[in-house]
Amino acid sequence: MAHPISAFQAAYISIEVLIALVSVPGNILVIWAVKMNQALRDATFCFIVSLAVADVAVGALVIPLAIIINIGPQTEFYSCLMVACPVLILTESSILALLAIAVDRYLRVKIPVRYKSVVTPRRAAVAIACCWIVSFLVGLTPMFGWNNLNKMQRTQELNASHSQFVIKCQFETVISMEYMVYFNFFVWVLPPLLLMLFIYLEVFNLIRKQLNKKVSSSSTDPQKYYGKELKIAKSLALVLFLFALSWLPLHVLNCITLFCPSCETPHILTYIAIFLTHGNSAMNPIVYAFRIKKFRTAFLQIWNQYFCCKTNKNTSSTIAETVN
């Protein structure tokens, strides 16, 4: 029999739904903008689309699953594990998309002349496909055996088969903290974040050197090119900073849980950390809108073409029919 939802759970669900209602339309708008605007068709924006797809899935899939886990229904162990794994897949996909974006920006300023011959649409598509394949392998590792099934069976002294093992479905019940810290965080989250930090520092260093040059060696204006690259690099570095700011608190709490089992972590801190991770999926479209002119132009074009002007046209048609 289902337990009634508490006031705290109701507040949690309301906040999660609000995040989803911002995240899903915002990231669909990003994908739509890239699709309709020819100026947003280079490799960088293809990687941004991959990131936006992951963020849409967070709002449309992960948040509903997180609400289910928060309610804690009684379910079979591997069914609960399948509910918990999508967030791991999409987190890794976002990290690898951000890493691909960082590498792409580095190549744009390191080899600007050869960039288009090196970073072709085909290679960008292969890179995106590889990112998603790795993300599924990393995120589904608990399904392959690195989970809490044996630990729970030993604790409860059960000899039942896996298919008959029913539990209260919660993330920490099925996902191993050793997996979350040693494998997920120390291998697939922290090193890529540190690598991206190094890449962006190098990108800013290269751009600064080029902007300090006084003499133009070609017919094109390198000052204008590198000035534009600097603006985009700052915006994408901000996206990376927000991602790290949103995800590191939860991973720090996981480390505390693993390395200090006796330490009591306030539940409110855990919920704040979860809201930050989910809320990150809603931040990127806002950054693009305010920081990248091409996106801002495309967003306005979509609004004028499909919403604002359509409303005006419908209103004009209604008035014309009334007059006739």
Residue whose tokens read 């017919």 = 219
pLDDT of residue 310: 54
Q: Please, which contacts does 121-128 make with residues 24 or more away whose CB atoms are closer than 8 Å? A: 121/43, 121/46, 123/43, 124/43, 124/46, 124/47, 125/46, 127/47, 127/100, 128/46, 128/47, 128/50, 128/97, 128/100
Burial 236-264 (b: 16+ CB within 10 A, else e): bbebbebbbebbbbbbebbbebeeeeeee
**Contact yes or no for 82/143 (Cβ under 8 A):** yes
HSE of 160, CA atoms in CB hemisphere, 13 A:
13
What pLDDT, in 10s, does the model give residues 204-255?
999 998 888 754 444 456 778 888 899 999 999 999 999 999 999 999 999 9
User: What is the distance between the alpha carbons of residues 45 and 121, in angstroms, rounded to a whole number?
Assistant: 11
User: What is the distance between the alpha carbons of residues 45 and 172, in angstroms, rounded to a whole number?
Assistant: 36
Pick from 28-32, 104-108, 122-126, 159-163: least confident: 159-163
Average pLDDT of span 86-109: 95
Q: Which two tokens stand for residue 1?
A: 């029999």
CA distances from 59 to 67, 195, 232, 252, 271 (A): 11, 28, 26, 23, 17
Confidence label for 147 from pLDDT (cuts 50, 70 and 90): very high
Percent of the chain at pLDDT exceeding 70: 89
What pLDDT, in 10s, does the model give residues 32-62?
999 988 888 888 899 999 999 999 999 999 9
User: What is the distance between the alpha carbons of residues 224 and 221, in angstroms, rounded to a whole number?
Assistant: 5
Residue 316 has pLDDT above 60, yes or no: no
What pLDDT, in 10s, does the model give residues 79-90?
999 999 999 999
pLDDT of residue 81: 94
Confidence label for 158 from pLDDT (cuts 50, 70 and 90): low
- Of the chain, the end-to-end C-alpha distance in Å amounts to 62
Q: Which two tokens stand for residue 247?
A: 């995800």
The model's pTM: 0.89
Helices of type H across the chain: 7-36, 43-57, 63-71, 77-110, 115-118, 121-139, 149-156, 171-174, 177-178, 186-188, 190-211, 222-259, 267-291, 293-302, 309-323
Residue 175, beta-bridge partner list: 147
pLDDT of residue 177: 96
Length of the chain: 324
In eight-state DSSP terms, residue 218 is: S
Backbone φ and ψ for 167, nearest 5 degrees, come out as -135, 170
Does domain 7-151+163-301 bear CATH number 1.20.1070.10? yes
Which carries the bigger pLDDT value, residue 324 or residue 69? 69
Average pLDDT of span 69-76: 89
